[in-house]
Amino acid sequence: MKFSTIEGHEKSIRILQRAIANNALAHAYVFSGQAGIGKKKTALALAAAVNCLNARPEGGCGECPSCRKVDTFGHPDVHVLVADGDEIKIDQIRQVQADFALKPFEGTKKVLIVDNAEGMNAASANAFLKTLEEPPGDALIILITAMPQSLLPTIRSRCQEIRFHPLPRKTLARALVQMRGLSEEDAWFIAALAQGSMGRGLEMDIEQEKAARDELATLWSGLEQMGPGEALALAETLAKDRERLERLIEIGVEGLRDALVYRETGEERLLIHAQARQAGHQAADRYSLPRLLADMELFMASRKLLDRRVSAQLVAENLLLKFGRG
């Protein structure tokens, strides 16, 4: 992993490169920001940079034996700690501490990367604090977390925090075209759904996402021809699978958002689902602004009721009857 292959995060990476060039790296960092946006990749690139055999101020070479070992998690001086079960246990911390007492085997710096660092329980956090208070001279510690506020304040205050922001949709779409071979249109669609997370963007099943939207479109268009009896029967069916109902409501919110955005801006690039633009055109033309806003409110309220564990049947009935009112 090298800095130059990481998508986005230019500012965070520049801070690290400058510190490397000036020999001014902190002993400990917190990399914070939502899951799946590149924090761990950057941590690995930093671990590689400080141990690279052809080290340059801009980072590791990505090719030397040391860099390659970091990439395959086989470098004896670079530890990546992940939770054992739901927590990072004190034994895991102790093991690392024992290793940190030794000189680096191969590299120049011992590096410890703690993934999901908020998973340290009280005992391990306190043990870990000792390492932070008296870090060995050649050690570098990187805590990765989406919840920096869950770290002990005494831990957080001893680390330099580097914030990672969600990737812009354009950056993500461009990367997805390259990495997944998606069409431009599909890449923009997935990039919107992934909400700035490269990890999510790479994992998402595009056919499944499209199928879910088609399903909802069919359902809504059918609803207009239904009488109340049929709508109630449909609500009963929908309520049987709460998760699916939640998903459909989520997509409904997304579709209405697209219709509203398109109505107000006429800007196709801002839509989440470009393939729904036909439907979006129709919805935006067919419905007045107050109607779209009322529907949006109805969907958001339904979502909130489901979150509050209100009966799925009640939520589905209310939604279908009100939405189908014409």
Selected binder of Zn ion within 67, 155, 173, 216 (CB under 5 A):
67
Report the residue number, 80 or 312, with the smaller CB distance to Zn ion: 80
Among the residue ranges 55-63, 81-89, 97-105, 228-236, the one whose residues contact Zn ion (CB under 5 A): 55-63
Among the residue ranges 48-56, 133-141, 206-214, 239-247, the one whose residues contact Zn ion (CB under 5 A): 48-56
Selected binder of Zn ion within 60, 196, 201, 252 (CB under 5 A):
60
Tell me which amino acid residue 75 is: H
Residue spans of alpha helices (H) in the chain:
10-21, 39-51, 65-71, 90-100, 122-133, 153-156, 169-180, 184-194, 198-203, 206-223, 228-239, 242-265, 277-286, 289-307, 312-323
19 binding Zn ion? (CB under 5 A): no
| Gap between the Cα atoms of 126 and 90, Å rounded | 9
- Tokens representing 139 are 């050690």
Query: Is residue 150 a contact partner of residue 24, using CB atoms and an 8 Å limit?
Result: no
Report the residue number, 52 or 251, with the smaller CB distance to Zn ion: 52
| Gap between the Cα atoms of 249 and 321, Å rounded | 14
Report the residue number, 73 or 163, with the smaller CB distance to Zn ion: 73
What are the CA-CA distances from residue 59 to residues 38, 162, 170, 225, 307 (Å)?
Answer: 16, 17, 26, 63, 46
Query: Is residue 140 a contact partner of residue 109, using CB atoms and an 8 Å limit?
Result: yes
Among the residue ranges 10-18, 60-68, 152-160, 178-186, the one whose residues contact Zn ion (CB under 5 A): 60-68
Residues in 193-232 at the binding interface with Zn ion, rule: CB under 5 A: none
Report the residue number, 59 or 201, with the smaller CB distance to Zn ion: 59
64 binding Zn ion? (CB under 5 A): yes
Report the residue number, 61 or 212, with the smaller CB distance to Zn ion: 61
Size of the site for Zn ion (CB under 5 A): 5
Residues in 107-126 at the binding interface with Zn ion, rule: CB under 5 A: none
| Gap between the Cα atoms of 140 and 70, Å rounded | 14
CB 220 to Zn ion: min, Å: 55
- Tokens representing 61 are 């070479």
CB 162 to Zn ion: min, Å: 22
61 binding Zn ion? (CB under 5 A): yes
State the residues that interact with Zn ion by CB under 5 A: 52, 60-61, 64, 67
